[in-house]
Amino acid sequence: MVWIGVVTLRISRRLPGFFVLTLLVTTSCSRSAAPTEVAAAAPVQPAQPAVSGPVAPSNYDYTASGPIVVENQVDVAAQREGLVVQILAETGTPVRKGQALAKLDDRQILSDLEAARAKTASTEADLNNWKAEAKVLEADLQRARKMWEAHLIPEEQFEHVRYKAEADQWDVKRVEQLLINARNTQRSMELELEKTQITAPFDGIVARRYVRAGQTVARDERLFWVSATGPLRIRFTLPSRFVSQVKVGQKLNITVPDGSPELEHIARVIQMSPIVDPASGTIDVLAELTGSVPDLRPGMQANVHLATHP
């Protein structure tokens, strides 16, 4: 290497450009030698197979899958036709049972209800009047009976008083029936008024809203989708060979395919189908998750891991 440097220097006195070229070639060669030595010294690593998704622990013998569900999850539909005048709950709103979600136009029903209430009050007054008159006629009948028994009045006069008192009693019964009818009409109007208030059927959350203010809806048209938030359950199927191995109350390990493979939840079997589906040879199982599960939501898919050996 020293001798080459001297030759290059002497030649460079006459050909400076050649010196530069020689120096560059020598330098590049010396640099390329180093990584070659390192590559030769590095051990060859065998190729590793790719792993995707969570891997079930080795102590599980069987893994089933199914959706996470809740018992209460329904579409809230309109019970009568009408115009939506107000939206009181949006998607994601937590609601309590009976809480108003929307309101329909109730002006006509309120007017009809006031008329029904007035009719009921009038009929009640008529009934009280007939009852008071019946008491007067009953008193007249008792007096006429005593006078007839004492031979102070003829029998025809006594019979006249008696028939009049009996007729008044029938009038009382007639007005009582009219009052019942008036009250039923009033109650019917009150129920129609209640139908203009769209309310939550149970505690939960508004999952979807299908209606908007100003929209005219028909009877049985869906307006909201309300879902309970718990308790969370998982529904899945197992081969019939597990009939004797899985029992109500048994603990199960639950994982979510898209979640952390290390994060497991505990569920307990709360229901098992009493029969085996002859078409698939499986049984339906329902398990309820225990403890706090803030990372799980209804509708998610989950894996159920079974350890069938000690």
Q: What is the pLDDT of residues 81-133, one digit of tens each?
A: 999 999 999 999 999 999 999 999 999 999 999 999 999 999 999 999 999 99
Instruction: State the pLDDT confidence band at 52, using cuts at 50, 70 and 90.
Output: very low
With H, G, I as helix, E, B as strand and everything else as coil, classify residue 84.
strand
Residue 258 or 204, more confident: 204
With H, G, I as helix, E, B as strand and everything else as coil, classify residue 250.
coil
pLDDT at 30: 41
User: Options 3.30.565.10, 2.20.25.10, 2.40.30.170, 2.30.110.10; which CATH number does 62-73+229-306 get?
Assistant: 2.40.30.170
Which long-range contacts link 101-104 to residues 24+ away (Cβ below 8 Å)?
101/76, 101/198, 101/199, 101/200, 101/206, 101/223, 101/224, 101/226, 102/198, 102/211, 102/223, 102/224, 103/196, 103/197, 103/198, 104/78, 104/80, 104/195, 104/196, 104/197, 104/198, 104/217
Number of residues assigned to the chain? 310
In tens, the pLDDT along 262-299 reads 678 899 999 999 999 999 999 999 999 998 888 888 88
- Sheet containing 222-227, strands listed edge to edge, beginning at the edge strand earlier in sequence: 73-77, 222-227, 204-209, 94-95
Averaged pLDDT score across all residues of the chain: 82
Give the global pTM.
0.64
